[in-house]
Amino acid sequence: MAHSARRDSPELPDFSVLKRLARDQLIYLLEQLPGKKDLFIEADLMSPLDRIANVSTLKQHEVDKLYKVEYKPVVSTSDQLCFLIRPRIQTVKWVYVVNADKAAGKFKRYKIIFTPQKFYACETVLEEQGIFGDVSTDEWAFYLLPLDEDIINLELPEFFRDNFLEGDQRWVRTGGSALHLFHSIYGPFSKVYGIGRCSKMVYESWREQVKEGEQKARQAEVGTVFLIDRDVDFVTPLCSQVVYEGLVDDIFRIKCGCVEFGPDVTSSDKSIKVMLNSQDKVFNEIRNEHFSNVFGFLSQKARNLQTAYDKRRGMDIKQMKTFVSEELKGLKQEHRLLSLHIGASESMMKKKTKQDFQELLKTEHSLLEGFEIRECISFIEEHINRQVSYLKRNQFSNNLNSAWPCQSYGVDHLLTFANLKQLGLLVEQQPGETLTVMESKMGKLVNDKTAGKLTDAFSSLAKKSNFRALSRRLSLVPKSDEEYDLRVPRDMAYIFSGAYIPLSCKLIEQVLERDGWTGLEEVTRLLNGHEFAVTADLRPQSDAQRIILVMFLGGCTFSEISALRFLGRERGYKFIVLTTAITNSARLIEAMLDNHV
Amino acid sequence: MMKSKADEEDYWNSSKFKAFTFDDEDDEFTKLKESRQAVNSICGLVEEEEDEDEVEKVSWSGEPVGSISWSVRETASSLREQSFPKIDTTPSLPKNSSGYSLSSLFKGKEVLSDSSVRLYAPELRKPKSEYKVTAVSLEKFRSLQEKLLLLDEAVGVHDGNVITAVLIYLKKSLSKEVLFRELESRQTALRHFIHYLTESKEQRLLLELYRALGRTEDEALLQYKEHLRITDENKRRDFLKSCVSLPFSPEDAGHVQDHYTLLERQIIIEATDRQAETGGKVEIFQKFPRRASILNMPLITTLYYCCFYHYAETEGTYSSPANIRQTFRIAEKQYFVTALAARAKLKAWHDVDALFTSRNWLGFTRKKSPLSFSRVADILSKNNAPVQVLQEYVGLVDDVELRVALAQKYKCHFIVISTYRDLKDRQLLLGYRGKVERGSEEERKIDELLSNPQIRWKN
């Protein structure tokens, strides 16, 4: 199971320094407001904050009480209030407490800390409300949150919608700054490749920032960077995930490296939250595996554990003592982990069996290959009809019109469909067009618990014909007549049961192999261009050269990370993923929703 | 590029996809169950000592005590115990720290060895390109030409924050007409402006902008979106009615009309049914109390609801499924799936039967279905249909292999038996004899077939 890595693989740099940096900076900001203060934290920021600090850290710096930022009156009695928020107009409007206090004749000190940066539009809100000046503002440049030894997250899910749907470039500089921070600690980079409009802009922003700052000569730890826009490849994140970590994310939703397993997994009456990362020895061995390999591994582990426990029978006191002090703790930990992941696997298996998952996968795979179109359509039809809530990929022929999903998923989604069209994910078929197929995807969207029904929408791949051509050119779909042994993967296609190599990862592989885009002209043309490859005037170091930072603008999936880990093992690279957020098909579709005020 | 039929079959039957299936309950699942048992069997040892383990608490017991999320909840739950707020009379004058400053930067690693906090502090800086857009200096741009130059400059540096900052200034200092006119040819700036207006909820200005740009469909959609704010169903219905005449694209116009008609009906149905439910006279509402109001539910949910509670009604009533089907032009297949699911849920097998039965001109009945019978069987089995009901539909599956597979899955033994008989496959039949209950009717049937001299077995 554990793949033997190439022995010459370079070591990953230590990212804990990023956490320390963020923590120290926060402390500095808190000390700018001396004395006791209450801290109001935006909901989305709590988990990231938990990863780098804890309550005692905050208490040490005179934070008295902690609250969530909400749209309701503030009850704090402290005379210093500090708000830690994302730069969103809506949230700033919630800080209306100031006006209420002023009206009541109370004078307090207020401070808003925006993270990772402030926006002019937010300060305009303060100005318009007449409290600019009463409230001081600051920035906490907390860009990089290491989620694992090879994953760094910006935790900015809104990057995707703002940039690709709304066409708002507010996060471009943020991306550049994040890259700059990384560069100043782990650089200097000697090669930067990229593809996508946003990637290009982020690169430019980063370059400007490097130019303005001073950079001391230093031994590079990471030498190569690859920037990629999410809209270069929408197909991959829309596919159902079948690699363990991806599947856990699809089903239980991993939040900031942490998942909550409910009673059905823990087989008790309580839920527990578990950190999922390389520290978890059991998880670390199965996270990149195709789900079908996980069972065998887990049962082998269970047997080994049984044997290890059984050893204590027939031990004398002294042996027992050694056993307890040396082995028992490890065994107990492993036991707990094992029972948890077995529980999770069972629960996922049950859920997926219930959902016609096998057929869904079959449909997805056919769509990727582009045949059995009629069967696919009928599968999708029936599921739209049945308002099936899980995710799936659709392909519509001209006998289908968009009226239909509306009927099932609720007219409110009219606006959602408008968004999907905007992104080119949904294309209405022109009558008379012969079986040009377009791919689309339906998603679990709004979960209306009362009715127990789910309202969904779907999307399609506008670059319909392009995907086919790209797939052929890059051989994304392996030949079907060859056997694919998922236990011994031979390429990145294993993450989708051997049916499809993720386009995003294939591009990275190709560019690294060719040391640029030469020979890929047709591919970049199909992807609407915006590719670049820049080499710095540095003497490259071979080790740093093989540690590659891949920056996903608009999010990446766990499956893609697994694929890159596989590629790294095969080729002797180490990949570090820097992403604006972890995404999956559900999150991608949710980002398109417009059925709320 | 279409592959041949043979290729396709081959693809799905090739071993690479057989290796693992989520539908396959026995093989992998048993493995999992075994490991679960193995793990559970060592539970005794672990539980007795569980609580001593302090080290693991941090990463394991969900949110550890002391985590920030935990503490926020604690504060929230303790709020009720709060005494009267302290009245603080000492005035404090918060300093207006910086004006508008852009992103902070960090020095590199050389700083990190130094543990002094201050060195990590953000260093505020104003690069040349952004210097132009600080709050103070914006006021200097008075002429239209200067303003537009500033805007184009901002767009050129690809910083959305700066673009929006300039737009906010232009919004304050230019008339709408002029601003809209200039934005028309500046798409990037225009999109930023639209997003800004959306976020700051300046609906009216946004509508004016769309109108000025001639983007009537966007204008209509934006107006339509307002219905989400209206919670009272009658007001919402009236609002939707007023939306019908907005300049939507022809297709969207149809949806909006349907939305209005649907809500109008839901209001009528809801009023009648609520009364019937509280009156306690109508049996179905007593046996299956409604879980939620039907208001604002999607069309198909409404159809399902009507198939559930109002199936037998004549086409004349608003709540009859047939009427809904006709009014909203629901496709045949869609209607079937919904009606089937609703009647199966009620275990009204007679209705299910009637749904698929059609009579030809000679008066013979036969089963017809717009969706495959394997699907029908699937839906029925998920609603716990008895074998007698299931086998009728499994038996209608054309594909022999699929039929046998489904029959085995749903334990429709007679279908398996008769299929093997039709295949004249003695060996399979013999093999199946071991799978049915001893002394059962099924076993007798198999024996009867096996000893039937008239069947010419192929093996």
SS (H, E, C) A431-472: CCCCCCCEEEEEEEEEEECCCCEEEEEEEEECCHHHHHHHHH
For residues A168 and B196, give the distance between their C-alpha atoms in angstroms, rounded to a whole number: 9
Q: How many Å lie between the alpha carbon of A502 and the closest alpha carbon of chain B?
A: 18
Question: Which chain A residue has its CA at the smallest distance from B189's CA?
Answer: A168
Query: A207-239: per-residue pLDDT in tens?
Result: 888 888 776 667 888 889 999 999 888 888 888
Helices B332-345 & A373-385 angle (0-180, nearest 10): 50
For residues A493 and A476, give the distance between their C-alpha atoms in angstroms, rounded to a whole number: 8
Whether B161 sits inside 8 A of A482 (CB atoms) is no
SS (H, E, C) B199-234: HCCCHHHHHHHHHHHCCHHHHHHHHHHHHHHCCCHH
Name the residue with higher pLDDT: B96 or A162. Answer: A162
Question: Which chain A residue has its CA at the smallest distance from B339's CA?
Answer: A386
Query: B53-109: per-residue pLDDT in tens?
Result: 333 333 333 345 556 666 766 666 554 433 333 333 333 333 333 322 222 222 222
Read off the amino acid at residue B369.
S
Highest mean pLDDT among A115-119, A467-471, B311-315, B409-413: A115-119
Query: B249-292: per-residue pLDDT in tens?
Result: 887 888 888 889 989 999 999 998 888 888 877 888 888 888 88
For residues B318 and B302, give the distance between their C-alpha atoms in angstroms, rounded to a whole number: 11
Question: Which chain A residue has its CA at the smallest distance from B378's CA?
Answer: A356
Using the predicted structure, report yes or no on whether residue A432 has a pLDDT greater than 60. no
Whether A169 sits inside 8 A of B192 (CB atoms) is yes
- pLDDT, position B98: 31
Burial of B438: CB neighbours in 10 Å, binned 0-12, 13-18, 19+: exposed
Q: Which of A136, A352, A485 sits opposite B22 (nearest CB)?
A: A352
Contacting A residues, span 3-22, partner chain B, CB-CB under 8 Å = 17, 20-21
- CB distance from B312 to chain A under 8 Å? no
pLDDT class of B28 with cuts at 50, 70, 90: low
Q: How far apart are the first and last CA of chain B?
A: 42
Using the predicted structure, report yes or no on whether residue B417 has a pLDDT greater than 90. no
* Residues in chain B closer than 8 A to A168 (CB atoms): 160, 164, 191-192, 195
B158, B161, B167, B169: CA torsion to nearest 10: -130
Long-range contacts of B338-342, Cβ-Cβ distance < 8 Å, separation of 24 or more = B338/A385, B338/A386, B338/B300, B338/B303, B338/B304, B338/B307, B339/B303, B339/B307, B339/B311, B340/B376, B340/B379, B340/B380, B341/A386, B341/B304, B341/B307, B341/B379, B341/B383, B342/B304, B342/B307, B342/B308, B342/B311
Q: Is the peptide bond before A540 cis (omega within 30 degrees of 0)?
A: no
Copy the structure tokens of residue A137.
């503002």
Whether A385 sits inside 8 A of B86 (CB atoms) is no
Whether B94 sits inside 8 A of A215 (CB atoms) is no
Contacting B residues, span 108-167, partner chain A, CB-CB under 8 Å = 108-110, 112, 117-118, 120-122, 125, 127, 129, 133, 135, 157-165
pLDDT class of A507 with cuts at 50, 70, 90: very high
Whether B299 sits inside 8 A of A407 (CB atoms) is yes
- CB distance from A498 to chain B under 8 Å? yes
Q: Are strands A574-579 and A151-153 parallel, antiparallel or unpaired?
A: parallel
DSSP class of A216: -
Residue B23's SS3 state is: coil
* Of A256, A229, A53, residue with least CA distance to A154: A256
pLDDT class of A6 with cuts at 50, 70, 90: low
Lowest mean pLDDT among A177-186, A426-435, B48-57: A426-435
Whether A387 sits inside 8 A of B301 (CB atoms) is yes
Q: Which of A107, A213, A372 sits opposite B92 (nearest CB)?
A: A107
For residues A8 and A14, give the distance between their C-alpha atoms in angstroms, rounded to a whole number: 18
For residues A576 and B151, give the distance between their C-alpha atoms in angstroms, rounded to a whole number: 37
Q: How far is CA A204 from the centre of its chain?
A: 24
Mean pLDDT over all residues of chain B? 73
Name the residue with higher pLDDT: A171 or A456. Answer: A171
Provide CB contacts within 8 A for A550, sequence distance 6+. Answer: A225, A226, A228, A508, A556, A564, A575, A576, A577, A578
Contacting A residues, span 251-310, partner chain B, CB-CB under 8 Å = 260, 271-275, 279, 290-292, 295-296, 298-299, 301-303, 305-306, 309
Using the predicted structure, report yes or no on whether residue A199 has a pLDDT greater than 60. yes
Domain ranges of chain B: 347-458
Whether B71 sits inside 8 A of A428 (CB atoms) is no
Helices B68-78 & A43-52 angle (0-180, nearest 10): 130
Whether B251 sits inside 8 A of A403 (CB atoms) is yes
- CB distance from B366 to chain A under 8 Å? no
- For range A386-401, the mean pLDDT: 31
Highest mean pLDDT among A157-166, A232-241, A266-275, B75-84: A157-166
For residues B375 and B337, give the distance between their C-alpha atoms in angstroms, rounded to a whole number: 9
A191's enclosing H/E stretch is: strand A191-195
Copy the structure tokens of residue B446.
């198999």
Using the predicted structure, report yes or no on whether residue A408 has a pLDDT greater than 60. no
Name the residue with higher pLDDT: A421 or B392. Answer: B392
Whether A329 sits inside 8 A of B75 (CB atoms) is no
* Residues in chain A closer than 8 A to B71 (CB atoms): 55, 66
Using the predicted structure, report yes or no on whether residue B203 has a pLDDT greater than 70. yes
Q: Which of A134, A411, A451 sits opposite B258 (nearest CB)?
A: A411
Superfamily grouping for domain A146-239+501-592: Sec1/Munc18 (SM) protein, domain 2 (3.40.50.1910)
Lowest mean pLDDT among A358-372, A397-411, B435-449: A397-411
- pLDDT, position B190: 95
Q: Which of A349, A385, A455 sits opposite B337 (nearest CB)?
A: A385
Query: A82-141: per-residue pLDDT in tens?
Result: 999 999 998 888 877 666 777 677 778 888 999 999 999 998 998 888 888 888 889 999
pLDDT class of B2 with cuts at 50, 70, 90: very low
Q: Which residues of A513-534 are buried (b: 16+ CB within 10 A; e: fewer)?
A: eeebbeebeebbebbeebbbbe
The dihedrals phi and psi of B98, each to the nearest 5 degrees, come to -100, 165
- pLDDT, position B288: 87
Q: How many Å lie between the alpha carbon of B174 and the closest alpha carbon of chain A?
A: 17
Whether B53 sits inside 8 A of A332 (CB atoms) is yes
Domain ranges of chain A: 15-141, 146-239+501-592, 257-353
- CB distance from B14 to chain A under 8 Å? yes
A227's enclosing H/E stretch is: strand A224-229
Q: How many Å lie between the alpha carbon of A560 and the closest alpha carbon of chain B?
A: 21
Nearest-Å Rg of the Cα atoms of chain B is: 35
Whether A77 sits inside 8 A of B40 (CB atoms) is no
Read off the amino acid at residue B99.
G
Query: What is the CATH architecture assignment of A15-141?
Result: 3-Layer(aba) Sandwich (3.40)
Q: Which of B16, B72, B255 sits opposite A67 (nearest CB)?
A: B72
Using the predicted structure, report yes or no on whether residue A175 has a pLDDT greater than 90. yes
- pLDDT, position B457: 78
Using the predicted structure, report yes or no on whether residue A249 has a pLDDT greater than 90. yes
Query: A345-357: per-residue pLDDT in tens?
Result: 888 888 777 666 6
A84's enclosing H/E stretch is: strand A80-85
Query: B142-196: per-residue pLDDT in tens?
Result: 888 888 988 998 898 889 999 999 999 999 999 999 999 999 999 999 999 999 9
Lowest mean pLDDT among A250-264, A412-426, A571-585, B152-166: A412-426
- pLDDT, position B68: 67
Identical fold between A15-141 and A146-239+501-592: yes
* Residues in chain A closer than 8 A to B260 (CB atoms): none
* Residues in chain A closer than 8 A to B16 (CB atoms): 480, 482-485, 497-498
- pLDDT, position A541: 66
Whether B338 sits inside 8 A of A385 (CB atoms) is yes
* Residues in chain B closer than 8 A to A345 (CB atoms): 32
Question: Is the separation of the CB atoms in A137 and A121 below 8 Å?
Answer: no
Whether A273 sits inside 8 A of B97 (CB atoms) is no
Q: Which of A171, A483, A597 sits opposite B228 (nearest CB)?
A: A597
Name the residue with higher pLDDT: B447 or A409. Answer: B447
Whether B49 sits inside 8 A of A349 (CB atoms) is no
* Of A147, A341, A346, A285, residue with least CA distance to B32: A346
Question: What percentage of chain A reaches a pLDDT higher than 90?
Answer: 24
Q: Which of B67, B331, B372 sits opposite A54 (nearest CB)?
A: B67
Highest mean pLDDT among A307-311, A364-368, B389-393: B389-393
Lowest mean pLDDT among A136-145, A463-472, B204-213, B388-397: A463-472
Contacting B residues, span 435-454, partner chain A, CB-CB under 8 Å = none
- CB distance from B12 to chain A under 8 Å? yes
Helices A16-31 & A43-52 angle (0-180, nearest 10): 120
Whether A451 sits inside 8 A of B292 (CB atoms) is yes
Query: B303-312: per-residue pLDDT in tens?
Result: 889 999 998 8
- pLDDT, position A60: 87
Whether B11 sits inside 8 A of A66 (CB atoms) is no
- CB distance from B289 to chain A under 8 Å? no
Query: A42-61: per-residue pLDDT in tens?
Result: 989 998 998 888 888 888 88
Whether B225 sits inside 8 A of A415 (CB atoms) is yes
DSSP class of A12: P
Question: Which chain A residue has its CA at the smallest distance from B80's CA?
Answer: A75
Contacting A residues, span 500-559, partner chain B, CB-CB under 8 Å = none
Q: Are strands A135-139 and A109-114 parallel, antiparallel or unpaired?
A: parallel
CATH number of the structural domain A257-353: 3.90.830
Looking at chain B, how many residues does it have? Answer: 459
Long-range contacts of B349-357, Cβ-Cβ distance < 8 Å, separation of 24 or more = B349/B385, B349/B386, B349/B389, B351/B311, B352/B380, B352/B389, B353/B392, B356/B393
Whether B22 sits inside 8 A of A358 (CB atoms) is yes
Whether A305 sits inside 8 A of B38 (CB atoms) is yes
For residues A370 and A247, give the distance between their C-alpha atoms in angstroms, rounded to a whole number: 24
For residues B278 and B286, give the distance between their C-alpha atoms in angstroms, rounded to a whole number: 9
Using the predicted structure, report yes or no on whether residue A404 has a pLDDT greater than 50. no
Half-sphere exposure at residue A434, Cβ-oriented, CA atoms within 13 angstroms:
0
Q: Which of A53, A370, A415 sits opposite B1 (nearest CB)?
A: A370
For residues A194 and A206, give the distance between their C-alpha atoms in angstroms, rounded to a whole number: 13
Whether B23 sits inside 8 A of A345 (CB atoms) is no
Highest mean pLDDT among A62-76, A383-397, B83-97, B192-206: B192-206
CA angle A185, A186, A188 (to 5 degrees): 100
Provide CB contacts within 8 A for B73, sequence distance 6+. Answer: none
For residues B365 and B351, give the distance between their C-alpha atoms in angstroms, rounded to a whole number: 15
- pTM of this prediction? 0.78
A112's enclosing H/E stretch is: strand A109-114
